Structure 1
Amino acid sequence: MVRPRGRLRVLRQLVRVLDRPVPWGRRRGPPLCVRLPRKTSLRSARGRCALVWRALRATLEEMFKLAWRVPNFAMMRGTAPAKAVTPQKPVVQETPVKFRSGKHTVIVKEVFDIAPKFPQTYLIRFTFENEPVFDFEPGQFISIFAEKDGKRISRPYSIASWPENKDYLELCIKIVEGGFMSNYLYHVSPGTKLQSIGPLGRFVIPEPIRYDTVFVATGTGVAPFIAMMGHIWEQGLDDGRDFTVIFGVRYVHDLIYRDLMEKWEREHPNFHFYPTISRPETPDWKGRVGYVQKVIQNEITDYGNKQVFICGLHDMVEDVKNLCQRLGFAYVRFEKWD
């Protein structure tokens, strides 16, 4: 414990330093003043300590922010200044949505594998009981409920179909080892009724579309982008804008919706599809090998005039989000899960 006299010496030095004008940002501003009133008795060490500490409490946050700039600051001596960080563009705020969520009874229409030889990812399609139309915005999701051991559980899934398709609502689901819901829905029989809540989420594309748009996805994270692009083509929202889908998976058979996106690429000169494989099984794959970050840096230019949407697992989304902010994209929007 510091004795009163030793503490007093430190506080005297602190008062002298804090009485000086110190830099505030890039310009000189008002001093951090901790001046003692002239008429105050300073005969006791206790009185000195109490007065200074009371004054210091009001400026504690600012003091520590600027401590490394102040010379002869005994309490912080030897502390290295933090490295200056270049300001990054903030992530754009969430877009307001048009439709409120509600409770719905969905009826399973069909369940089928995307790649029958590799039944790890499947599509499930629903219709709605007593509801001819389910309104949602592309990019939103729906939560499906089921019973497990007497408890009601739910899981959210992005909607892969676009609003103009009134025949069914489509979800793209990857079977998770040990995951109850993904396995349950895979084996559910057509005609089964399930409870749901939706539409949910604010991961939607603002209209009118003011920027060229890049979609970055891994795995089933491509589902909301399928809904967005289908909606864009149906409504003719692509006028004067380019759209790019960068889709990363481990194996070739994981490229869900590949045929659809290659069809869009043939039909629309302003649509570009860049699939990339991180673990190609055979030399037959002649496309890109690696991760989506590499494709962004190699294939995309003029970042300041583009907006980017990112969807997938948490770590990938965080890494790509930080990369896109450093590259200077006009807007960065993302959705992630564990």
Structure 2
Amino acid sequence: MSEIKGRDIPPALQNPGQWRTMLFHGDDAGLIAERARAAATQVAEGTDPFRFITLSVEEHARLPEESAAMTLGGGRRAILVRDAGDALLPHLKAALAQPTDTLIVLEAGALSTRSTLRNWARKPTDVASIGCYPETGRDLERTIQTVLTQASHGAPPRLSSAALKWLAEHLAANRALVRSEVEKLSLLGSPGQTLSLDDVRAAIGDSAEGSVEQALLHGFAGDPQQADRLLDRALHEGAPAAKVTWALYRLIERLLEAAQLMEGLPAPGQTPGRGCTPMEALKQIKPPVFFKQQPLYAKALSRWPHKALLGLHKHAHDLELATRQSPLEADLACRHFLAVLAQHKGRR
């Protein structure tokens, strides 16, 4: 097997013909679907039904038959197999035992290290395995820029640095949802026009309502029902536990910065300040808090003093360890943490 990672993935998707089978697996369902379809249509040179077919989970038993089918007019066939899992393996082996050059593309989900399909794929030399996991940080920023350019047919509006950073922090961890939201931005401005942070927030602000950060904010503000509802939505949309812990660390830092200003606590090497109100503090932190989120931030700050926020770092670290050590129970750990966060007694 060739385990294809990082920078080697785009070239592999442009030239998938060297493989007999390609396995796409991981936590980002949107990215899996996008890459699997790209590989299959590249070999089939489009979606001609004589050269490109899709098999649903109910049709897996047809894989050997479809793999052996001939094309009309020549060319290589590609079969995109949806919902591939361990139960597919007997049908896959039967298909590969036939003398055919059909490319079989497997669209799987999160396969554990004990998965028989994943372990089988490690042996043949003509099988490629590509992990598809949610992007964050610079990787996600590059994807946003690429999608915006594609949606604008090569002449996109520009994103300010603050707008790009905000998008990378707030978009759901699912390539399909990222693409859907970024494509909206291609309609906002003319080629070369710079879209500000306010422009972007106004365009996709509603999407941020279901973000992990929004769920955490409601937890900090003491609203367990809304926090759980929003976290459930974010997890359903594909946000992994790693994104929850990453967003938690970032939100703690944002609240700490505001709490420090509120309480007049000095930064290293500086004299104490005079203190200020929550709303005054929120206007000073960078990047500025979106006006729709300011009431939630203010309520959170009214419940969490600087000292209590500092103490949350250890609990956030414990949550991160728990989600890594028990991936199957990661969502439950995040829900429990959020419930405890929302039940905090408040400022003392």
Give the TM-score band, short-chain normalised: under 0.3
**Higher helix fraction: Structure 1 or Structure 2?**
2
* TM-score under structure 2 length normalisation: 0.20
Which entry has the higher C-alpha Rg, 1 or 2? Answer: 1
* TM-score under structure 1 length normalisation: 0.20
